[in-house]
């Protein structure tokens, strides 16, 4: 082997080694960059859709998830809870939800895609307080013998039924808002994107 061939061989090995090292450095730099493109927890809370698994939610139970910095309640209503919705129209300020904020697919008596599940933003439309659940009926609720169950805003006394519709004569001007949402599966709800599936 001549001196020139040895030199060529050495250059090739050096070129190969630096190419491999450069490729590894580029990959090591790209991984964190690509990972930074996924939405952070703060970005998710600021507006990215949020997935909720309701498989463990028993009838009559409610869970809360956060979307856009707001509490979103998911209530799994019982048959008894749903039965009360038909009896309250004369007591409600907006029974047909004509003045309230909800997607078109939730503009119905139950204000939901699936009657069993209510998905609503848990912020009172009066001054932005957070109502509390008052699911016990009658005198046990502390709201009188005729109380059919629902929500109470403790700040100024607005009451809402189990479809988040406000009772007439209360400070809240409209029903609780219904966020855009869709079902990814029977027990998975995506909050923040419209759809009826």
Query: What's residue 96's pLDDT?
Result: 84
179/156 Cα distance (integer angstroms): 24
Query: What's residue 197's pLDDT?
Result: 52
180/22 Cα distance (integer angstroms): 47
In a domain, 172, yes or no: yes
- Structural domain containing residue 51: 45-191
Residue 87 has pLDDT above 60, yes or no: yes
Residue 113 near residue 182 (C-beta atoms within 8 A): yes
Residue 118 near residue 162 (C-beta atoms within 8 A): yes
Residue 61 has pLDDT above 60, yes or no: yes
Residue 62 has pLDDT above 70, yes or no: yes
**Confidence at 5, pLDDT banded by 50, 70, 90:** low
Residue 127 has pLDDT above 70, yes or no: yes
Helices (H) and strands (E) in the chain, counts: 3, 9
In a domain, 117, yes or no: yes
**Confidence at 182, pLDDT banded by 50, 70, 90:** very high
- Contacts of residue 74, defined as CB under 8 A and 6 or more positions apart, other chains included, come to 52, 54, 57, 62, 63, 64, 65, 117, 118, 119, 189
**Total number of domains in the chain:** 1
Q: In what order do the strands lie in the sheet with 50-53?
A: 50-53, 188-191, 181-185
Residue 54 has pLDDT above 90, yes or no: yes
- Whole-model pTM: value is 0.72
In a domain, 100, yes or no: yes
Residue 139 has pLDDT above 80, yes or no: no
In a domain, 152, yes or no: yes
Average pLDDT over residues 157-167: 88
In a domain, 7, yes or no: no
Query: What's residue 4's pLDDT?
Result: 64
What CATH number is given to the structural domain containing 167?
A: 2.102.10.10
Lowest mean pLDDT among 17-26, 56-65, 82-91, 151-160: 17-26
In a domain, 6, yes or no: no
In a domain, 153, yes or no: yes
In a domain, 67, yes or no: yes
How, if at all, do strands 132-134 and 117-121 pair?
unpaired
Name which residue leads in pLDDT, 184 or 12.
184
């Amino acid at each position: 082997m001549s001196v020139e061939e040895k030199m060529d061989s050495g250059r090739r090995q050096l070129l190969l080694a630096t190419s491999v090292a450069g490729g590894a450095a580029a990959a090591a730099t790209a991984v964190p960059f690509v990972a930074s493109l996924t939405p952070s927890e703060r970005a998710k809370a600021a507006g990215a859709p949020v997935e909720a698994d309701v498989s463990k939610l028993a009838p009559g139970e409610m869970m809360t998830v956060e979307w856009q910095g707001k509490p979103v309640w998911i209530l799994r209503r019982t048959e008894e809870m749903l039965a009360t919705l038909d009896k309250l129209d004369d007591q409600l300020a907006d029974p047909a939800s004509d003045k309230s904020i909800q997607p078109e697919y939730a503009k119905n008596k139950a204000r939901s895609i699936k009657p069993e599940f209510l998905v609503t933003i848990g912020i009172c439309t009066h001054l932005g307080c957070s109502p509390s659940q008052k699911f016990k009926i009658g005198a046990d609720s502390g709201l009188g013998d005729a109380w059919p169950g629902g929500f109470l805003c403790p700040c100024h006394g607005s009451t809402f039924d189990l479809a988040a519709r406000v009772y007439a004569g209360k400070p809240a001007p409209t029903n609780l808002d219904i966020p855009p949402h869709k079902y990814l599966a029977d027990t998975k709800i995506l909050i923040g994107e419209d759809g009826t599936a």
